[in-house]
Amino acid sequence: MHTKHTGSWSELLWGRNGLRSLALAGGVAVHAVNVYIVTTILPSIVDDIGGLEYYAWNTTLFVVASILGSALSPKFLDQFGLRRAFLLAIVLFAAGTIGCALAPAMPWLLAARTVQGLGGGLLLGLSYSAVRMVFDERLWSRAMVLVSSMWGVATLAGPAIGGIFAQTGHWRLAFWAVVPIAAILAVLVRTQLAQGRQRGSKRSQAPLGSIFLLALSVLVVSVASLSAQPAWKAAGIALGLLIAVLIARIDGRARVRLFPTGSYSAHTALGSLYGCICLLSIGVTTEIYIPYFLQVIHGKSPLAAGYWTALMSAGWTLGSFVSSGRSTGTANRLIVIGPVVSAASLAVLAWMMPMAGLSQQGGANGLMAPLLGVGVGVGLCWPNMLTRVFKSAPEGQENIASAAITTLQLYAMAMGAALAGMVTNAAGFTEPGGVQGARQAALALFAVFACAPGLAALMTRGARRAG
């Protein structure tokens, strides 16, 4: 017999609970797998339908829409109930996926990716929110672990699905392959989830105004990245920063906050922690260009390039495993060492990735170590930073501090993609393009983005003090 706090894995994964678990985990899985599918097949897409200058926009628009979808999920839950909200999210995601599969040109694809991201963000938010509604309290912890683990599954499944179809010259089938999975998920949701609303008191509102401003700051930088004039690029970055300052001022006076008190100062423990989390996440967004560089500069197949790209995520997991559960002193050292490892690995990639002759005699295999190292560096400090965010949150704002981590990660990913587009386009990614443009872009991208985790290493004082 189970006590209140000892729900077992067998209880979670067997019978009706097993089907419910599959529905919630599936909501995260279809979103996460899609991220890695598109990263893998994007070089094939631009080779077919063009739009190389919009390469980073595929990630930027998808993630910005995901931020909005995740923020809107509580309202969908209140308005439609759990089952209908889930089904609407699946319909949006499937419609966007079909639009991607049918895209004749890049503008069409970008619009479809936006719809897909909105549906995916809703699925993410609903999957996590539904854990408390669907399962008894004794199963919450294990259910959250199961749902979160789908990102690890995605690093294996996404590159395989995308790589196989891209390698055979049928990148559109990679999108079509996701549609039946979404249909199966819809059947599970329709038959296994109740049409209920969240237990307990009325849900708190989401700070939608601040979230829309976050999205606007990213889009401003993305639009500026298309200009050939350095002055316009600089103006885009400046305007994006001004909007970020405006968000801080608005959020500081808001009744419903986006980030907890103290988040906007680098001198506070919470501000230091959030700053490091943001900068480390930005460094990792370089992965969106890695399949292109590996295929164009080093002649790797789409499947191999997809799995080499996943080395960053694998390193993140490995680093997290090594660093979790360490003493306070060791954790403080890892919080400094981690960003340094990540920055050094990006610097090595800036040196090695542009070497066109590296592919001869298996020399390109040397890229695997720094690719892994970027993720390992993040993982070495990540679990301890997240734990300290919870401890550093002002009393009564613990839930806001926790939810802000996901928002911050998505924002950093979107802004990182926008800045990456700006850096690579300025370095010659599209003009001269080809192998020469890819080499120039690789050098600039990794060299510039090594500064992000490097800066994180310099602002860890507050994060270490939080221990």
* Residue 240 burial by Cβ neighbours in a 10 Å radius (0-12, 13-18, 19+): buried
What is the C-alpha separation between 274 and 270, in angstroms, rounded? 6
Cis (ω within 30 of 0) for the bond into 432?
Answer: yes
Please report the domains of the chain, with CATH numbers, ordered by start residue: 10-202 (1.20.1250.20), 257-467 (1.20.1250.20)
Asked if 251 and 411 count as a contact pair (C-beta separation under 8 A), the reply is no
Burial state string for 299-333 with b = 16 or more CB within 10 A and e = fewer than 16? ebebbbbbbbbbbbbbbbbbbbeebeeeeeeebbe
Asked if 64 and 213 count as a contact pair (C-beta separation under 8 A), the reply is no
For residue 409, the model assigns a pLDDT of 86
First to last CA, the chain: 38
For residue 6, the model assigns a pLDDT of 52
Tokens representing 428 are: 């010659």
* Residue 358 burial by Cβ neighbours in a 10 Å radius (0-12, 13-18, 19+): middle
What is the C-alpha separation between 421 and 292, in angstroms, rounded? 13
This prediction's pTM: 0.88
What is the C-alpha separation between 302 and 408, in angstroms, rounded? 30
For residue 8, the model assigns a pLDDT of 75
What is the C-alpha separation between 254 and 16, in angstroms, rounded? 42
Q: Tokens 């490091």 — which residue? A: 276
For residue 177, the model assigns a pLDDT of 94
For residue 147, the model assigns a pLDDT of 81
For residue 2, the model assigns a pLDDT of 41
Asked if 341 and 377 count as a contact pair (C-beta separation under 8 A), the reply is yes
For residue 52, the model assigns a pLDDT of 94
Over its length of 467 residues, how does the chain's per-residue pLDDT go in tens digits?
344 455 677 888 888 888 988 899 999 899 989 989 999 999 999 999 999 999 999 999 999 999 999 888 888 888 888 899 999 999 999 999 999 999 999 999 999 999 999 999 999 888 887 887 888 777 776 787 788 778 878 888 899 999 999 999 999 999 999 999 999 999 999 998 876 655 444 555 678 888 899 999 999 999 998 888 889 999 999 999 999 899 999 988 888 888 888 899 888 999 999 999 999 999 999 999 999 999 999 999 999 999 999 999 889 888 988 887 788 899 999 999 999 999 999 999 999 999 977 766 566 789 999 999 999 999 999 888 888 887 888 887 877 787 788 788 889 999 999 999 999 999 999 989 899 999 999 999 999 999 999 999 999 998 888 76
What is the C-alpha separation between 90 and 67, in angstroms, rounded? 16
Nearest to 290 by CA among 273, 315, 262: 315
Provide the angle, in degrees to the nearest 10, between the axes of the packed helices 106-134 and 140-148. Answer: 160
How many residues make up the chain in this entry? 467
For residue 203, the model assigns a pLDDT of 54
What is the C-alpha separation between 318 and 320, in angstroms, rounded? 5
For residue 4, the model assigns a pLDDT of 46
What single DSSP character describes residue 137? G
